[in-house]
Amino acid sequence: MDTIIQGKAYVLGKNIDTDQIIPAEHLVYSLSDSEEVKMYGKYALSGLPIGEAGLPEGKHPFVKDGQFKSEYSIIIAGPNFGCGSSREHAPFSLKVAGVKAIVAESYARIFYRNCVDGGFVIPYETAEQLNKTVLTGDELKIDIENNTITNLTQGVTYTLKPLGDVYNIVMAGGIFAYARQENLINS
Amino acid sequence: MAQTITQKILARAANRKFVEAGESVWLNVDILLTHDVCGPPTFDIFREKFGPGAKVWDPEKVIILPDHYIFTENEHARRNIDLLRQFAEEHDLPNHHDVGTDRYKGVCHVALAQEGYNLPGTVLFGTDSHTCTSGAFGMFGTGIGNTDAAFILGTGKIWEKVPESMKFIFEGQIPDYLAAKDLILQILGDIGTDGATYRAMEFDGPAVYSMPMEERMTLTNMAIEAGGMSGIIAADSVTEAYVRERTGKPYEIFNSDPDAEYHSIYRYKTEELEPVVAMPHSPDNRATVRSVQDTRITKSYIGSCTGGKLSDFVMAAKILKGNKVSVPTNIVPATVEAAQSLETEQFDGHSIIKILEDAGCTIAPPSCAACLGGPSDTFGRSEDNDLVVSTTNRNFPGRMGSKKAGVCLASPLTAAASAITGRLTDPREFIR
């Protein structure tokens, strides 16, 4: 796995629930058929109220009309990101849209587990209220080895909380790869 | 060392005497639950990761309860029902409650209880965040995603971080104008939607133990709305009677030690609480019903795992009897058993269904229906700028369908009283 993640920021508020990440009516598509999978990219974060879509000003759809990928690959959010349902379709849809990492003040448990165990996106926590300073569209760089995030547009570096217990699962690429690596299941 | 009920149950599942809050442990899973939305992708991951000849770890322990998108023409949703059927046949799974057969039950969390799958002391993982509902039976129940479910399906094991516990004690008795929904909405307003993240919410006190199982399930159901890993109520004679009516399987009752450590303890004088509502767009946006009584509503909805049990409809019927609703009022029993009980259960000499129909309610077949929006032809889905008073558990933006609509979460008493007046209404206006 690369130890540097670089991309444009998409900034969100607090309590972003899984219905906003992927509305329930779209949960009917296959997660393994390559054509249907694109629909999860198309509808990623489509449940956001338009005023909340890409802070501070809002009105930046995460994925443009008619497209399946987002121009933003790092999500910056406040506390309790991913609250609500257990749908793994949520981190999956962010991955399909091109998200590599989320940096939030905190996460809901099931969303956090799904990110890690499914190996979809890296859920970083930070003590900083980054969604108050980072602007949607800023160029960001995450250094996984050193637990830092740099806002290249603004020239500021912040500290991320270490991944801790889940670091090895993230680095392995998910719970199955980790379990094989540790001989918890037979390959 | 002193342990909470949750620590004791997880210690048993980890083959340990003691587990500490904060440590990650590998657990032996007693039951894995899945449904039509998350079952098919779980099975895909299982096939991909364990290979084509892989076997389910224990067919008896896998419970498949399709419930989300059942009565829809949406071809992708219907395909999911077929995919469940194929997997159940391929692996000879005895506990598949298939749609269109007399084995169909309805909403999984209520069906688990009614079919005798909930057993005190056991550990349940399910591909649905409201799996915490089963904690009402003195067991550990929590939601997981498809990957974790696929891992369990092949191994019977999963890692979990032992949660700290928060205790919520309800003293006294519950007045007739309050329901379990008011109690949990009260807590949510106090601690917020992340107030219990990664923790177990333990409910205790005479008011809790005076409740029947269905009302206890309303409390534990919404632990996830505070971010809780689980909600739990230790089993008592009411629990045992309910379980024994449905199954002869063995179980073990655990209780928290008196000196167990808690993250925090909240005490409520139940008689001093009043009917509350969670206004759009968050379950912790609490207001007393009286303080928002001028709010006009466009629909009332009584249904779901948390608000579509027989006890919910009996409460609604007590308010609706002899009255007419003034806004469209949708009734969705959680399960087939709940739907059948509407015919047999009586209040004041009339069946519950007769009271609801005479009041002008529309009654749909059992499923999750519009609680989470769903395909465009879903019964009761919110439209345009609807403001729905609902006994469901979530009111996030767009939750019941329309992105422009709002949802006010309330008890069945409040939802019924509001249906009559067309505005948010404290049920005390109708309780003499």
User: How confident is residue A184, by pLDDT bands cut at 50, 70 and 90?
Assistant: confident
Q: What is the CATH number of the domain that holds A62?
A: 3.20.19.10
Which residues between 392 and 421 in chain B have a beta carbon less than 8 angstroms from any beta carbon of chain A?
394, 396-399, 401, 403
Whether B52 shows a pLDDT value over 90: the answer reads no
- Are the Cβ atoms of B38 and A32 closer than 8 angstroms? no
Sheet holding B62-64, edge to edge: B62-64, B31-34, B123-126, B140-143
DSSP 8-state secondary structure symbol assigned to residue B380: T
- B67 part of contact set with chain A, CB < 8 Å: no
Spatial CA neighbour of B49 closest among A134, A117, A67: A117
Nearest to A80 among B193, B229, B399 (CB): B193
Nearest to A25 among B80, B129, B373 (CB): B373
| Minimum CA–CA partner of B127 in chain A | A86
| Minimum CA–CA partner of A20 in chain B | B397
The predicted model gives B160-188 an average pLDDT of: 98
- Are the Cβ atoms of A24 and B372 closer than 8 angstroms? yes
Whether B83 shows a pLDDT value over 60: the answer reads yes
Task: Please state the pTM of the whole predicted model.
Answer: 0.97
Q: Is A70 exposed, middle or buried (0-12, 13-18, 19+ CB in 10 A)?
A: buried
Q: Which residues of B touch A107 (CB under 8 A)?
A: 197
Q: A80-136, pLDDT tens digit by residue?
A: 999 999 999 999 999 999 999 999 999 999 999 999 999 999 999 999 999 999 999
The predicted model gives B308-337 an average pLDDT of: 98
Residues in contact with A116: Cβ distance below 8 Å, sequence separation at least 6, in sequence order? A123, A166, A169, A170, A174, A175
Superfamily of domain B5-268: Aconitase, domain 3 (3.30.499.10)
Which residues between 181 and 220 in chain B have a beta carbon less than 8 angstroms from any beta carbon of chain A?
193-194, 197-198
Domain count within chain A: 1
Q: Which residues pair with A81 in a beta bridge?
A: A107
- Are the Cβ atoms of B227 and A25 closer than 8 angstroms? no
Percent of chain B, pLDDT > 90? 99
What token pair was written down for B222? Answer: 């919404």
- A4 part of contact set with chain B, CB < 8 Å: no
- pLDDT value at residue A165: 84
**Cβ pair A82, A18 in contact under 8 A:** yes
Chain B interface, best mutation among A15, A31, A50, A86, by max B CB count within 10 A: A86
DSSP 8-state secondary structure symbol assigned to residue B324: -
Whether B315 shows a pLDDT value over 80: the answer reads yes
Q: Which residues of A touch B401 (CB under 8 A)?
A: 25
Whether B405 shows a pLDDT value over 70: the answer reads yes
Cβ pairs bridging A and B (under 8 Å): 134
B26: distance to nearest CA of chain A, Å?
Answer: 11
Whether B142 shows a pLDDT value over 80: the answer reads yes
- A172 part of contact set with chain B, CB < 8 Å: no
- A89 part of contact set with chain B, CB < 8 Å: yes
Q: Where are the domains of chain B?
A: 5-268, 276-427
Sheet holding B387-390, edge to edge: B286-288, B276-278, B406-409, B387-390, B299-303, B329-332, B362-363
- A88 part of contact set with chain B, CB < 8 Å: yes
β B286-288/B276-278 pair status: antiparallel
The predicted model gives B195-199 an average pLDDT of: 97
User: How confident is residue A187, by pLDDT bands cut at 50, 70 and 90?
Assistant: low
Nearest to B155 among A28, A32, A185 (CB): A185
User: How confident is residue A2, by pLDDT bands cut at 50, 70 and 90?
Assistant: confident
Whether B428 shows a pLDDT value over 90: the answer reads yes
Q: Which residues pair with B401 in a beta bridge?
A: B382
Q: Which residues of B touch A27 (CB under 8 A)?
A: 37, 68
Spatial CA neighbour of A57 closest among A151, A137, A158: A137
- pLDDT value at residue A60: 97
| Minimum CA–CA partner of B402 in chain A | A47
Chain A interface, best mutation among B43, B129, B140, B378, by max A CB count within 10 A: B129
What token pair was written down for A11? Answer: 């900034």
ipTM (interface pTM): 0.95
- Are the Cβ atoms of A25 and B374 closer than 8 angstroms? yes
Percent of chain B, pLDDT > 70? 100
In this chain, the answer to whether the domains covering B5-268 and B276-427 adopt an identical fold is yes
Nearest to A87 among B38, B376, B401 (CB): B38
B62: distance to nearest CA of chain A, Å?
Answer: 18
- pLDDT value at residue B141: 98
Whether B135 shows a pLDDT value over 90: the answer reads yes
**Cβ pair B268, B379 in contact under 8 A:** no
CATH of domain B276-427: 3.30.499.10
In angstroms, what CA-CA distances link B363 with B95, B308, B313, B333? 28, 11, 11, 8
In angstroms, what CA-CA distances link A160 with A124, A178, B219, B401? 7, 23, 36, 37
Whether B64 shows a pLDDT value over 60: the answer reads yes
DSSP codes, B107-140: SHHHHHHHTT---TT-EEEESSGGGGGGGGGSSE
Give the mean pLDDT of chain B: 97
What is the greatest pairwise CA distance in chain A?
A: 51
- A80 part of contact set with chain B, CB < 8 Å: yes
3-state secondary structure chain A: CCCEEEEEEEECCCCCEHHHHCCHHHCCCCCCCHHHHHHHHHCCCCCCCHHHCCCCCCCCCCCCCCCCCCCCCEEEECCCECECCCCCHHHHHHHHCCCCEEEECCECHHHHHHHHHCCCCEEEECCCCHHHCCCCCCEEEEECCCCEEEECCCCEEEECCCCHHHHHHHHHCCHHHHHHHCCCCCC
Whether B13 shows a pLDDT value over 80: the answer reads yes
What token pair was written down for B236? Answer: 């008592």
The answer to whether residue A87 is domain-embedded is yes
**Cβ pair A157, A149 in contact under 8 A:** yes
Domain that holds residue A133: 4-162
The answer to whether residue A185 is domain-embedded is no
The gap between the terminal CA atoms of chain A, to the nearest Å, is 21
Q: A43-93, pLDDT tens digit by residue?
A: 999 999 999 999 999 999 999 999 999 999 999 999 999 999 999 999 999
Whether B418 shows a pLDDT value over 70: the answer reads yes
- Are the Cβ atoms of A117 and B148 closer than 8 angstroms? yes
Q: Which residues of B touch A89 (CB under 8 A)?
A: 41
